Structure 1
Amino acid sequence: MFFAGFLTACSGGSGSDSSISGDQKADPVVVDYPIVFVRRPLPLDEEGMLATDDVLAPQEFRPGASLILKDRASGDAPETVLTEGLFEGDIDIQHLNVSPDGEKLIFSLREPEIPGADEDEQPTWDIWEYALESGDLRRIIATDISAEAGQDLYPAYLPDGRIIFSSTRQRRGRAQLLDDNKPQYSGLEEDLDNEAFTLHVMDEDGSNIKQVTFNQSHDLAPAVMPDGRILFSRWDNMGRSDSVSLYTTTPDGRNIQPYYGYHSQATGSDNSAALHARPWMLENGQTLVILRARESNRFGGDLVIVDGENFTEAYSEPNQSGTLVGQNTVSVFEVLTNSELSPHGHFASAYPLRDGSGRLLVSWSDCRIIDQSTMLPQPCTDENLAQPDPVPADPLYGLWIYDYSDGTQRPVVVAEEGIMISEAVALEPSFTTGFIADPIAGADLEQTLVDENAGILDIRSVYDIDGTDIVEGGIAAIADPVLATAEDRPARFLRIVKAVPIPDENVREFNPSAFGVNRSQLMREIVGYTPIQPDGSVRVRIPANIPFAISVVDRDGRRIFGPHQNWLQLRPGEIRSCTGCHERGSEVPHGRADKEPQSAWPGASTSDLAFPNTEPALKAQMGETMAQLLSRIAGEASLSGDLGFIDVWTDPLVRPKDPSWDIFYRDLTTAIPAAPGCETTWQDRCKAIIHYPTHIQPIWELPRPVFDANDMLIADHTCTGCHTNRDANSMTQVPAGQLELTAGQSDVNPDWMTAYAELLLEDGQQELVDGALRDLTRQATDDDGNPLFQLDGNGDPLLDINGDPIPLLEPVPQGASMRAGAAVASRFFEKFEAGGSHAGYLTAEELKLISEWLDIGAQYYNNPFEAPVN
């Protein structure tokens, strides 16, 4: 905590003494390098109240900013307004950064708003550069057409002079949309509020722009680490997981790994939600962040240093318990980051000076409240805070040099009422960082993979969960054909699922009912399947530059582990290896190579020998998995839209091989959910895109007559023949199993067919009374099972003509037979199993299609351009 007397005097809160308190030691070293800062009016909303600042809405336009240069960090140093006269009208500026040599400043600027223009016609955020020696100020991307292709924020210089930044331009993603015969657009983040920001790299002249990350929510605030990797803030929001944490990548987007804080989302005051905003690397490898609430009208938070080199989470024990080890505040006194009044103010920004002093250039506001007698701001002293219901005054952000090692600070720019210094940097050389050059095809990368725009995913064993072998008897046992048949192995295929970018309403405005009952999964495409080998290993070729997720599925194509809630990517030629799978909610490091547990599956124990009881010709090398062995001998596996099994492993001298089988899309007698040609030859362009009206509803309506040996009709298993509210004579009936599978308009949602709602939503049972359907009811009970009765206004039971209490009735529920997102948990399939009442009614191909549709979210449509216009 800072010293209240000093802060009050220098912040302009109430005192008139501008001298430094005797308790405050003067900074012994003046920062002789120039500093640049942003001065702006306090952001206000349309009603004149303090605006809400949302870290995950960085494109918000707050006009009135100016870029100011001081030739040194001293209060008496003169100021030069670098942006004076640059435009007619108010601009906005944010995200200052400095070149490694300290000679150039880079930042994001948005030009003045165009009166009367629509939002999509307003200026975009552009990246600008200021050269200290020449004084030149320029937009990096010179041409208007290219500059206006997206919102460009958070620029940072790479060691070779190129620029990495966050942008909505989604350059590679747009090109893929053209390949899919869709218009080019930038997809919305998964809350569907704004276009998603992903990382891009460009040359210093604004040319050669490349998208390097493909997350479906934001990737923000890249910073160069001492070893040359890029640290950035990623918003993981698949399935509304809503986690913001730190990740790392190489400058070209390879080897993306979680770094810190995925399970540390509530490290704010009193365990309130807080995120690690705007990371800056320190020379010792630690990271300086502003710990703050995602949304706040105080515009700041606490100064925190993250020790991501040694820890992946904040606390020593899971579930944010134990000792705080991964991060620590460097504020001298407590700064509150929750909704409570913070007696010691907030930091809006912090920049670590590179002079070896450990000092910070900070934007800081003291805490002030409104004196109810004078209606003037007063400092948050204990006496003032003791007033009933203290009302916070507007923040007062000035610029300071702060030395957290001894708790001293010195004013650089004194705060003014209604004005804030939002961020600042020093134009000084930074510490030397490593340089990671982009790999070269044919030298560092396999040329064929690069040419085919593909990468390799290599998983040691899906039976390795957080470093633990989950197989009873061990992975070696389930991989041994003598000890386990194919049918004994639960994990049979790996399914690759791709995200579908959702356009904003200016591109395609469709009814949200197109998402179906499970909007959190948005829309999905199935890229394909690959077999999981007996030891649980996978090595498969996957299209590069797409956001994808994986699912481990059984013989029937039903996911057996929890949903994967993080988007993965491969760059062309990249080979990404992982040890196994991760239990959702587990805080065991997963995906970060230097912290995750050792693999539970060592692979082959010797070289030039086959795995136990497998084909002798399939000789492994020490440590190889079964998938790696096959890849070395037969080449990389590719994806397929079909499920199929051939026993390549069992040595026929020890037991007969397991029987082969296939489930082909092409054997469907209803519409195939893939482009023509894909049903016979699955290529990288092939995807399964499943729409309920097109691909699932026809299954219920398909005629299924059964004939005897003499071609006499003996039964009709057409689904809608029994599961309808009309019999063969058009008379009203209760649908079989209380389940109606007709294509009529649902009374739950007019945009859905009746069958869709009946299958996926709980309903009330019906009965037939006097030729009409009515809801079946029962007497309601309380939590203890006691019967409930109708009551009058005084709470007394209502009585019938016999003087007996009148029962309170409730509908008899009919549970949904399908569960969106979990085919394996859907009781629908029980009817079709061997011995079930519907065994043999549906084909294996139909059951596989229904299963995969359920697993990806049971969407009504999986292409926004196929969904009806709203």
Structure 2
Amino acid sequence: MFKKSIYTSFIVLMTIFVLVVAVQSCKKKSLEGMIVMSQCKGDIENPDYLSGSRWRNIPESRIVALHTDAPDQPLYKLTEGFYSACAPKISYDGNSMLFVAQQSENDIWQIWEMDLTNRKTRQITSSEGNCIDPDYLPGDRMVFSKQEIINVATKEKGYTLYTCNLDGSNLARITYDPSTYFASTVLNDGRVVAIGRTLIPEVKDAMLMIMRPDGTKQQLFYQSEANHHLQGRVWEMDESSIVFVEGDADNEKDITSISYNRPLHSKVNLTSQIKGDFYAISPYQENMVLASYRSDKEGHFALYGFNTQSHELGTPIYKDGEYHVLEAVPVVKRDRPKKLPSEVDLNVKTALLVCQDINYSYMQTNDSTTAVNKASRLEILGMDETMATFKTEEDGSFYIKVQADTPFRMQTLDGNDNVVKGPSSWLYLRPNERRGCIGCHENRELVPQNAQPLAVRKDPIPVPSPKEIDSLKRDLKM
């Protein structure tokens, strides 16, 4: 009797042990191969493309996971403890997910990371301003947008790009111009592409800007047509093409493709023949993207597959009469981007810029009968006033030393100080950065002529910082 009791107890304990292991195993089951997507019930018809509200951060949104093999099964609710959660981005090994969230209704938006093997979350940022649109960088870092004051005089706010470690440490600002940046994406070559929009002196149309993760070598990557808007992140389909959703002046949203090598001159509308709207896309399979799409503005966005080669829209993968499907990404492993070296040295307070010829422009004409007003001087414009004006070399070249992380614009002048071209778009150089350009409104697909500019045979011309200008003014008043 005693032996039977021991045997029975042993069987019960083993049964309990097996059940516990099974439960724990289910809890830690990988999401690999599933689709993670953000959803919302509310209104998404009036997004604010300046503040990002109801566009890059969606109130009362949630993140769920979908079984692709069994789309009729209940969704895994990944962010039940949050008031709002959106913008999922999967790590290169497929084991983690960055996202933005609010724990309570009036909270600041912060960036979180979820371990997809056990669904545990941890907060990365603890900012006083909204933090949105994270993406993974090589070396256990991330890039994201942080809301802060762009114009001290007017207290105008915008989003600046930052990088940090995945534990929130080693925070580094990487953009310094009076623009707002959204939807950053890390390309396979290691560079960061983001939607940038100039705010000062007037608001301009959005464009894609590209830079290194330290903020150096920033330049225009893609320019939308007038009154068009860029809807969200860009994605690489292969080594030659990049796709994204773009809205026209009538707010009709289509999938756009551009060439990696010629992004400014290769736009193709892939969905011009498809009636309806696209909200967001992401790579899924070969020549296939996941697309949130609806056939009319009264319906909800559902999840579809779209073939980028045949331009065909497939049948719905998932649809919900209550929720919009917003951004959807597959949980898969992917190649890690290149880790680019940085020339930034924070112990150096200046940077260098050389130009080959201020009178060169890709818009210039070869017609000898057309009168050309030639520039001979350059004016450097700060946020509020002129920082410097000087004569360029006989070949039109100049070589200047500017204060690092200080935004400026340039315009060329003739001998009578009349403006010939400009002002340019905003520029900034990081500490110890060295940059060169061909000319004014240069063709960005051209390389410089194989000639040494006269300006580099001399020391660079120093351009005083705004603080130095203010100090000089105070000295002159004394």
Smaller-chain TM-score bracket: 0.7 to 0.9
Shift of 1:304: 1.9
463, 473, 477: which is aligned to 1:639? 463
Shift of 1:551: 2.1
Matches within 5 A, 1:685-724: none
SS of equivalent to 1:187: strand
1:52 and 2:39 equivalent? no
Matches within 5 A, 1:562-573: 562-573=421-432
Q: Distance in 1 between matches of 2:156 and 2:58?
A: 17
Shift of 1:280: 1.5
AA at the equivalent of 2:458: L
Change (3 A) 1:73 1:247: farther
Is the CA contact 1:104–1:427 (under 8 Å) kept in the aligned structure 2?
Answer: no
Equivalent residue number for residue 551 of structure 1: 411
Shift of 1:130: 1.1
Equivalent residue number for residue 27 of structure 2: none
Shift of 1:597: 6.2
Change (3 A) 1:294 1:55: farther
SS of equivalent to 2:420: coil
Change (3 A) 1:148 1:310: closer
Shift of 1:62: 4.2
Shift of 1:135: 1.6
Is the CA contact 2:147–2:157 (under 8 Å) kept in the aligned structure 1?
Answer: yes
Shift of 1:352: 0.8
SS of equivalent to 1:312: helix
Shift of 1:238: 4.6
Q: Distance in 2 between matches of 1:219 and 1:132?
A: 28
Equivalent residue number for residue 446 of structure 2: 596
Q: Distance in 1 between matches of 2:418 and 2:161?
A: 31
Equivalent residue number for residue 150 of structure 2: 187
Radius of gyration: which is bigger? 1
Is the CA contact 1:39–1:421 (under 8 Å) kept in the aligned structure 2?
Answer: yes
For each residue in 1:711-741, what CA deviation from the matched residue of structure 2 results, as whole angstroms up to 9, or x when unmatched? xxxxxxxxxxxxxxxxxxxxxxxxxxxxxxx
Matches within 5 A, 1:727-742: none
1:497 and 2:381 equivalent? yes
Q: CA RMSD in A?
A: 3.3
AA at the equivalent of 1:544: A
For each residue in 1:315-361, what CA deviation from the matched residue of structure 2 results, as whole angstroms up to 9, or x when unmatched? xxxxxxxxxxx222333x624xxxxxxxx2211111112x4x22212
1:265 and 2:93 equivalent? no
Matches within 5 A, 1:37-436: 37-43=37-43, 51-60=45-54, 62-72=58-68, 74-84=70-80, 86-87=81-82, 91-114=83-106, 123-141=107-125, 147-169=126-148, 186-187=149-150, 195-240=157-202, 242-261=204-223, 264-266=224-226, 273-275=228-230, 277-293=232-248, 301-313=253-265, 326-331=266-271, 334-335=273-274, 344-353=275-284, 355=285, 357-367=286-296, 394-406=298-310, 407=312, 409-417=314-322, 419-436=323-340
Q: Distance in 1 between matches of 2:418 and 2:408?
A: 16
For each residue in 1:449-488, what CA deviation from the matched residue of structure 2 results, as whole angstroms up to 9, or x when unmatched? x53411011011212223859999xxxxxxxxxxxxxxx9
For each residue in 1:402-442, what CA deviation from the matched residue of structure 2 results, as whole angstroms up to 9, or x when unmatched? 3344525243322214x21111111111234322132364x
Shift of 1:525: 3.0
Q: Distance in 2 between matches of 1:253 and 1:676?
A: 30
Is the CA contact 2:241–2:258 (under 8 Å) kept in the aligned structure 1?
Answer: yes
Matches within 5 A, 1:470-869: 490-492=375-377, 494-499=378-383, 524-554=384-414, 558-582=417-441, 590=443, 592=444, 595-596=445-446, 598-599=448-449, 623-631=451-459, 636-639=460-463, 674-676=470-472
Q: Distance in 2 between matches of 1:638 and 1:527?
A: 10
Q: Aligned pair count?
A: 439
Q: Distance in 1 between matches of 2:152 and 2:71?
A: 43
For each residue in 1:622-681, what CA deviation from the matched residue of structure 2 results, as whole angstroms up to 9, or x when unmatched? x322210012xxxx321269xxxxxxxxxxxxxxxxxxxxxxxxxxxxxx983357768x
Structure with the larger strand share? 2
Q: Distance in 2 between matches of 1:438 and 1:597?
A: 22
Shift of 1:72: 3.9
Shift of 1:32: 6.3
Change (3 A) 1:549 1:362: same
SS of equivalent to 2:455: helix
Shift of 1:209: 1.2
Q: Distance in 1 between matches of 2:475 and 2:395?
A: 29
Shift of 1:250: 0.6
Shift of 1:526: 2.8
Q: Distance in 1 between matches of 2:259 and 2:276?
A: 24
Change (3 A) 1:430 1:113: same
Give the alignment's TM-score, normalised by structure 1: 0.47
SS of equivalent to 1:240: coil
AA at the equivalent of 1:625: P
Is the CA contact 1:54–1:294 (under 8 Å) kept in the aligned structure 2?
Answer: no
AA at the equivalent of 1:637: I
Q: Distance in 2 between matches of 1:571 and 1:73?
A: 49
Is the CA contact 2:38–2:326 (under 8 Å) kept in the aligned structure 1?
Answer: yes
Change (3 A) 1:436 1:640: closer
For each residue in 1:277-298, what CA deviation from the matched residue of structure 2 results, as whole angstroms up to 9, or x when unmatched? 42122222321111114795xx
Q: Distance in 1 between matches of 2:344 and 2:69?
A: 44
Give the alignment's TM-score, normalised by structure 2: 0.82
Identity value in percent:
21
Is the CA contact 2:228–2:246 (under 8 Å) kept in the aligned structure 1?
Answer: no
Is the CA contact 1:358–1:403 (under 8 Å) kept in the aligned structure 2?
Answer: yes
For each residue in 1:547-567, what CA deviation from the matched residue of structure 2 results, as whole angstroms up to 9, or x when unmatched? 1101223566x3522332411
Q: Distance in 2 between matches of 1:360 and 1:330?
A: 12
SS of equivalent to 2:162: strand
Q: Distance in 2 between matches of 1:452 and 1:555?
A: 35
Q: Distance in 1 between matches of 2:397 and 2:250?
A: 43
Q: Distance in 1 between matches of 2:104 and 2:67?
A: 28
SS of equivalent to 1:278: coil
Equivalent residue number for residue 343 of structure 2: 439
